[in-house]
C-alpha cells in the first residue's frame, strides 16, 4: 500500500528538478541573498572553478573576479544562455549536463574548486555524488557545499523541492571524510529562515513560491540584518555551508 505515496514523492522530485528555473526567476529578486551565500566561501576560491547546478549564475557574480575561470553546468539551457550573455569575455564557459547521469561532458577535466549549492540533497545516493566530485577535483582542491540543514525539519516542502534529505553537521562531515575530505569550515546559515520554515511545513511547493514578489523584495532589504544572526552561538539555520579540502591521497 506504500508504493503509491513513494511514487508520488518521486514524481514530485522529478518535476522539481526539471522546472526549478521558475524558482530561479523568483529568487533573482534576492541579490543580497546570493551575496550572503557567497560571503561564507568566496575567499576560499581561486584558480579554475566548476559550479554544479549553476542556474543563471546568481552566485557566480559574487566570486567571478577572484578566480581564473568558471565552468558552469546545469540541466537548463535557457539559464545557461543567460549566464553566458553576461560574460562574453570567455571567462565563463558552460555545458548542459544532467547531473543524474554519468557527467561525460566533464570527462578528463579537473578543477581547483567545485561549488555545489543546494544540489547534493537532490540525489538519493549522495555517496556516489561525492565520488564524482573527487573525480573532477585536483588533489588539495576544495569543494563548497550548501545543503538544507536540520534533518528534523524535513517536510512536504522538501519533497516538493526534490530533496531526499536535510543534513546535520556530523553526518555531513562523515560523508565527506569517507571520501578523502577534511572539513575546513561548516556553518549554519539563516536561522530566521529556519524559524519561518516550520510555519510553512505543510506547503507542498518550493519554499520561495510561498512568498509573493513584493515580500521577496522586502526580504532582500532585510538580509543584511538577517545575516547577523549567523554569528549568534547556538542558533541553527535553514542551511549549512561548508568548505571541504581534498587530501593529497584521497580515500578510494
The pLDDT assigned to 197 comes to 85
Confidence of residue 201 (pLDDT cuts 50, 70, 90): low
Nearest CA among 170, 162, 190, 196 for reference residue 18: 162
Task: Quote the pTM value.
Answer: 0.86
State the pLDDT at residue 30: 82
Q: Is the alpha carbon torsion for 99, 47, 66, 145 positive or negative?
A: positive
Q: So what's the pLDDT on residue 44?
A: 97
Would the pLDDT of 234 be above 80?
yes
Q: What's the pLDDT at 4?
A: 45
pLDDT tens digits, 59-87: 999 999 999 999 999 999 999 999 999 99
Q: What are the beta bridge partners of residue 186?
A: 242
Residue 241's pLDDT is 98
Q: Which domains are delineated in the chain?
A: 3-246 (3.40.50.150)
* Gap between the Cα atoms of 201 and 191, Å rounded: 16
Question: Is residue 200 scored above 90 in pLDDT?
Answer: no
Query: Partners of 187 in the beta sheet?
Result: 241
pLDDT tens digit string along 128-187? 999 999 999 999 999 999 999 999 999 988 998 899 999 999 999 999 999 999 999 999
Distance CA 153, CA 161 (A): 14
225 or 249: which leads in pLDDT: 225
Amino acid at each position: 500500500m506504500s508504493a503509491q505515496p513513494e511514487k508520488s514523492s518521486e514524481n514530485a522530485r522529478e518535476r522539481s528538478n526539471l522546472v526549478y528555473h521558475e524558482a530561479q526567476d523568483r529568487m533573482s529578486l534576492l541579490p543580497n541573498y546570493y551575496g550572503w551565500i557567497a560571503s561564507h566561501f568566496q575567499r576560499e576560491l581561486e584558480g579554475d572553478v566548476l559550479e554544479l547546478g549553476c542556474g543563471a549564475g546568481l552566485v557566480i557574480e559574487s566570486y567571478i573576479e577572484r578566480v581564473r575561470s568558471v565552468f558552469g553546468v546545469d540541466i537548463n539551457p535557457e539559464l545557461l544562455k543567460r549566464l553566458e550573455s553576461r560574460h562574453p569575455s570567455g571567462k565563463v564557459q558552460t555545458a548542459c549536463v544532467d547531473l543524474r547521469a554519468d557527467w561525460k561532458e566533464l570527462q578528463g577535466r579537473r578543477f581547483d574548486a567545485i561549488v555545489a549549492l543546494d544540489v547534493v540533497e537532490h540525489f538519493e545516493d549522495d555517496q556516489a555524488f561525492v565520488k564524482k566530485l573527487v573525480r573532477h577535483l585536483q588533489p588539495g582542491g576544495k569543494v563548497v557545499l550548501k545543503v538544507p540543514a536540520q534533518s528534523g525539519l524535513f517536510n512536504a516542502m522538501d519533497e516538493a523541492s526534490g530533496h531526499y534529505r536535510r543534513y546535520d553537521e556530523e553526518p555531513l562531515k562523515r560523508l565527506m571524510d569517507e571520501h578523502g575530505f577534511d572539513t575546513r569550515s561548516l556553518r549554519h546559515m539563516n536561522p530566521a529562515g529556519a524559524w519561518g520554515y516550520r510555519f510553512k511545513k505543510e506547503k507542498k511547493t518550493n519554499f520561495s513560491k510561498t512568498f509573493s514578489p513584493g515580500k521577496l523584495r522586502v526580504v532582500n532589504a532585510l538580509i543584511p540584518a538577517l545575516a547577523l544572526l549567523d554569528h549568534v552561538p547556538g542558533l541553527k539555520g535553514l542551511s549549512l555551508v561548508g568548505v571541504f579540502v581534498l587530501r593529497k591521497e584521497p580515500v578510494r
